Amino acid sequence: MKLTFENTTIEISASGKSYRATLGEKTVDVEILQAKDGKLDLLIDGQRLTAYVSSENAKRWVTVNGQTFVLTKPAAGARKSGGGHHRAAGELTAPMPGQVRAVNVAEGESVTKGQTLLVVEAMKMEIRIQAPRDGNVKKLLVKQGQTVEREQILIEIESESLAKV
Amino acid sequence: MFKKILIANRGEIAIRIIRACRELGIQTVAVYSDADKNALHVRYADEAIHIGNSAPKESYLNADVLIRAALDSNADAIHPGYGFLSENASFAAAMASAQLTFIGPSADSIRAMGDKAESKIRMKQAGVPTVPGMEGLESEGGFEKAANEIGYPVLVKAAAGGGGKGMRVVNAESELSEGIESARREALNAFGDERLLIEKYVSNAHHVEFQVFGDQHGNLVHLFERECSVQRRHQKIIEETPSPLLTPELRQQMGEAGVAAAQAVGYYNAGTVEFIVDPDTLKFYFLEMNTRLQVEHPVTELVAGLDLVHWQIRIAAGEPFPFLQSHFTQRGHAIECRIYAEDPANGFLPSTGKLLQYIEPHGPGIRVDSGFTIGSEVTHFYDPLLAKLIVQAENRETAIQRMQAALKEFVVHGVITNIDFLQAVISHPDFVNGEVTTRWVETNFNWTPPAEPSFESLVAAALADLTILNRKSEIANQNEHDPYSPWKVASGFRN
C-alpha cells in the first residue's frame, strides 16, 4: 500500500514476516522487532533502529536518530487529485487491495466531514474511508464483503453547496 | 527549621524545590492557576491550593492571594523560585509583615539591585567595574553629550528595567533622540518609571555570571562562574561552568568583584552577579545582580558540590553557612541545555499543545529537571521552558560529548522543541572552541531544519500507521455514539 506524508509517497508491501518499503529508487526490507507505547524497534536492511511515532489526527510526530519530524498525512481515503484540482464530486478510492468490511452509509444520505463511510480490510489492517468534506453520498459503488482493487472507486460524495444549485 | 513551605511557582522549579523540601523533611504546599490544574507540580506536593485564573497577574503574580494561601495552610515560609514574584521587594516586605519567611535576600537588597541606576552607582562606590556610562540624565542634550564622551554604539536602558524591556541600542547620534523616546515609552509602560541610563554598548561580549551565597551572619562566598553566552532574544539557552574564557587570575578577580557587589547591598541567600566580558581585552563589567535562584543553578551545584536549594532554605531559617571560600573548588565540567517548547525555525515562537510522547535521557552524569510529562498541557500563559537537561563530566570535551548523546535520547512529541537546534549549537566549532558571544545565535549561526524528512522517519511513520500504534488511536478517536459502528464488533486482529 502507498502512504503519503507531506509530498512524499512511500510504498509498503508485506513479504513474509517482514515488510518491503520503497521510496523512489530506494527499497529496503524492514522487520518490526517490537511496537509498543509509540516506540518501534525496527530492523532496516539488518540495521537496528529505534523510532518514536505519535499520531495526532493527520499529524505524525516521528523521532529517529535524535531528529524529530512532524509529518502531515492527507486525510485517510481522500483522493489525491492531480495538479491541485479538487473535484466537486469526491471519488473515494481504495488505498490498497482488500475487502470491504463495513458500509456505514447509503446512497443519498448526507455525511459530515471526517465521518467514516466504509471500512476496508487489507494486509491485516482496517482502513477507514472518511468523508473529505460535508456532502451527500452520490453513488455507493461497493457492498459489504466485496473484494476491491487498489484505486478502485468505492463511493462518490458530492458537496452540499453543489447539490443545492 | 520550617515545618511547611509554600512554593509560589510552577513547572520544573516548583518540583525541584518540593524535592529539596522533602529531603529536608519539610511539608510542601503547591499553588496553581486554572491552566495548571493537572500540572505535575500540583500532583507532586503534599497539598495544593488553587490561586486563580490562568493569566499570571491573576494567580502566580498575585501577592495577596499567595500570602493568604500560605497563612491558610499554616506554612512558615514561601519559596518564590525564579521569575514571578522572586525579585519583588514589596512581596518580600509584605511577607515579613505577615510573619512569614521569604526564602531569599532582604527586601532592601532586592530593592537596591532592582534599580539599575542606583545599583550601578553603588557598584562604582564598591569598586566593582561597571560599563562606562552615565546615570541620572534627563535632557536630550545631556544624553547627547554623554553619548559622545562614551562613543557609539551606546545603550539606553530603563533604570527600573529588566528582561530586555525599555532597552535600545543606538548606533549613531542621528538615532539617539528616537532611541531615548522609544526606550522611555516602553519603560513607562512596563515599569511605570521613565528614568533611563546610558552606557557603552559592548556588542561582542561573553556573558559570565558569578553565583554568590551568604548567610545572615556575615559569611558570604562565591561558587564560581557560569558562562551563559548562548542566547536568543536576550535569553539564555545553554549555560556551563567553568567558563572556557576565564583564566584563573580573571576568575579570582571576578569572584572577588562578585562578592564585593553582594556585600555592598548587605546580601544574604543565593544571588547571581552578572558580568559581561570583552573577549579581546578580557576586561569585565558589572551588568546586574539577580537577587534569586537562577534557572541555571544546577551546573553550579554539580561543579561546586552543593545543593543550593537546601542551603537557601537553611539560611532563610537562620542557620549559619558553615563553608569558607577556600572550601570550594571546581570539580569537572557541567553544561545545561534549556529544553523549550518553541520553534527555532520560526523565530523561536512558542509552541503549545499536549505532550503525546515525553522520554528523558538517562545515564551517568545526566540530570533532568522537568516540569512536564506525557499528557501534560503546554499552554501559552507561561514561559515555554519544558525541562533542563544538565550533564556533568570530568572535562569540557567529555561534557559536550555527553550532552550530544543525551540530547539525541530526549524525545518530545506534541509540541515543537528546540532539541534539534541545541544539538546543532553544541556541535558547532564556535561552541566547541568556547568562542560564542551573546549575539552569536542571531548573527553567526544559521540553522535550518532539514528540508526533507529522513527516509528512516518516513519508513517508521508508514509502519506505525500500518501497525498497532495507529490502530489504537483510531479506535480511541472513533465516534462511539453510533451503536451500530463496525468498531463495536470484535475483530480478530484488533487487540
Per this entry, what is the length of chain B? Answer: 495
Are B182 and B241 within one domain?
no
Q: Do B356 and A123 touch (CB under 8 A)?
A: no
Are B236 and B295 within one domain?
yes
Q: Of B408, B453, B491, which has the smallest distance from its Cβ to A5's Cβ?
A: B453
Give CA torsion, residues A70, A75, A81, A82, to 10 deg: 10
Residue B486: the pLDDT is 32
Mutation target to probe the B interface, by most B beta carbons within 10 A, among A1, A3, A29, A121 is A3
pLDDT (tens digit per residue) in B131-152? 999 999 999 999 999 999 999 9
C-alpha cell recorded at residue B48: 495544593
| Rg of chain B, C-alpha, whole Å | 24
pLDDT (tens digit per residue) in B446-491? 899 988 899 999 999 999 888 754 454 444 444 434 333 333 333 3
CATH number for the domain that contains residue B144: 3.30.1490.20
Question: Number of folded domains in chain B?
Answer: 4
Mutation target to probe the A interface, by most A beta carbons within 10 A, among B407, B408, B469, B478 is B469
Query: pLDDT confidence of B160, banded at 50, 70, 90?
Result: confident
B66 occurs within a structural domain = yes
Q: Of A8, A66, A125, which has the smallest distance from its Cβ to B458's Cβ?
A: A8
Q: Which domains does chain A have, with CATH numbers?
A: 2-72 (3.30.700.30), 82-164 (2.40.50.100)
Highest mean pLDDT among A90-94, B91-95, B177-181, B346-350: B91-95
Q: Which residues of B touch A64 (CB under 8 A)?
A: 454, 456-457, 460
B287-310 mean pLDDT: 97
Q: Please determine, for residue B495, whether its predicted confidence score (pLDDT) is greater than 80.
A: no
Q: Do A63 and B459 touch (CB under 8 A)?
A: no
Residue B479: the pLDDT is 40
Are B409 and B481 within one domain?
no
Are B14 and B55 within one domain?
yes
Angle, vertex CA B147, rays to CA B142 and CA B150, nearest 5: 125
Q: Do B466 and A62 touch (CB under 8 A)?
A: no
DSSP code of residue B59: T
CA–CA distance, A29 with A22 (Å, rounded to integer): 9
Q: Do A68 and B420 touch (CB under 8 A)?
A: yes
Residue A75: the pLDDT is 64
B12-31 mean pLDDT: 98
Angle, vertex CA B418, rays to CA B416 and CA B422, nearest 5: 155
DSSP code of residue B75: -
Find how far residue A74's CA is from the centre of its chain: 8
Question: Is B417 within 8 Å of chain A by CB?
Answer: yes
Are B175 and B217 within one domain?
no
B448 occurs within a structural domain = no
Domain-ending residue, one of B173, B200, B227: B200
- The C-alpha cell 525564579 sits at B82
Are B430 and B286 within one domain?
yes
B55-71 mean pLDDT: 95
Q: Do B456 and A69 touch (CB under 8 A)?
A: no
Are B10 and B82 within one domain?
yes
Query: Phi/psi at B188 (nearest 5 deg)?
Result: -65, -45
Question: Is A22 within 8 Å of chain B by CB?
Answer: no
Residue B268: the pLDDT is 98
Q: Do A61 and B413 touch (CB under 8 A)?
A: yes
Q: Of A49, A56, A62, which has the smallest distance from its Cβ to B461's Cβ?
A: A62
Mutation target to probe the A interface, by most A beta carbons within 10 A, among B418, B448, B456 is B456
Are B387 and B310 within one domain?
yes
441-460 of B, contacting A, C-beta below 8 A: 450, 452-460
The predicted model scores a pTM of 0.82
B111 occurs within a structural domain = no
Q: How far is A165 from chain B (nearest CA, A)?
A: 31
The string over A59-72, giving b where at least 16 C-beta atoms fall within 10 Å of a residue's C-beta and e elsewhere, is: bbbbbbebbbbbbe
**ipTM entry:** 0.86
Mutation target to probe the B interface, by most B beta carbons within 10 A, among A61, A71, A121 is A61
pLDDT (tens digit per residue) in B47-58? 999 999 999 999
Answer with the residue of higher pLDDT: A126 or B42: B42
B115 occurs within a structural domain = no
Q: How far is B11 from chain A (nearest CA, A)?
A: 24
Quote the longest CA-to-CA distance of chain B.
Answer: 85
Q: Which residues of B touch A61 (CB under 8 A)?
A: 356-357, 413-414
Domain-ending residue, one of B84, B103, B122: B103
Residue B494: the pLDDT is 33
DSSP code of residue B130: B
Q: Which residues of A touch B459 (CB under 8 A)?
A: 10, 21, 23, 28, 30, 42, 44
B97-115 mean pLDDT: 96
Question: Is B373 within 8 Å of chain A by CB?
Answer: no
Is B292 catalytic? The answer is yes
Question: Structural domain of residue B431, as residue ranges?
Answer: 206-443
B43 occurs within a structural domain = yes
Task: pLDDT tens for chain A, 165 residues: list them.
Answer: 788 888 889 998 887 778 899 998 999 999 989 888 899 999 999 999 999 999 988 899 999 999 999 999 876 544 443 333 333 357 888 766 678 888 999 999 999 888 889 888 765 566 778 888 888 999 999 999 888 877 788 999 887 655 443
B126 occurs within a structural domain = no
C-alpha cell recorded at residue B313: 532554605
Are B179 and B279 within one domain?
no
B8 occurs within a structural domain = yes
User: Comparing C-alpha atoms, which of B280, B274, B141, B114 is closest to residue B198?
Assistant: B141
Exactly one of B226, B292, B367, B396 is catalytic; name it. Answer: B292
Q: Do B457 and A8 touch (CB under 8 A)?
A: no
| C-beta neighbour count of B444 within 10 angstroms | 12
pLDDT (tens digit per residue) in B365-405? 999 999 999 999 999 889 899 999 999 999 999 999 999 99
Domain-ending residue, one of B185, B200, B215: B200
Q: Of B357, B491, B493, which has the smallest distance from its Cβ to A61's Cβ?
A: B357
391-410 of B, contacting A, C-beta below 8 A: 407-410
The string over B119-130, giving b where at least 16 C-beta atoms fall within 10 Å of a residue's C-beta and e elsewhere, is: bbebbeebebeb
Query: pLDDT confidence of B111, banded at 50, 70, 90?
Result: very high
Are B62 and B136 within one domain?
no
CATH number for the domain that contains residue B337: 3.30.470.20
Are B191 and B306 within one domain?
no
pLDDT (tens digit per residue) in A6-18? 888 999 888 777 8
B125 occurs within a structural domain = no
CA–CA distance, B23 with A150 (Å, rounded to integer): 63
User: Chain-wide mean pLDDT for chain B?
Assistant: 92
Are B272 and B412 within one domain?
yes
- Calculate what percentage of chain B has a pLDDT beyond 90: 82
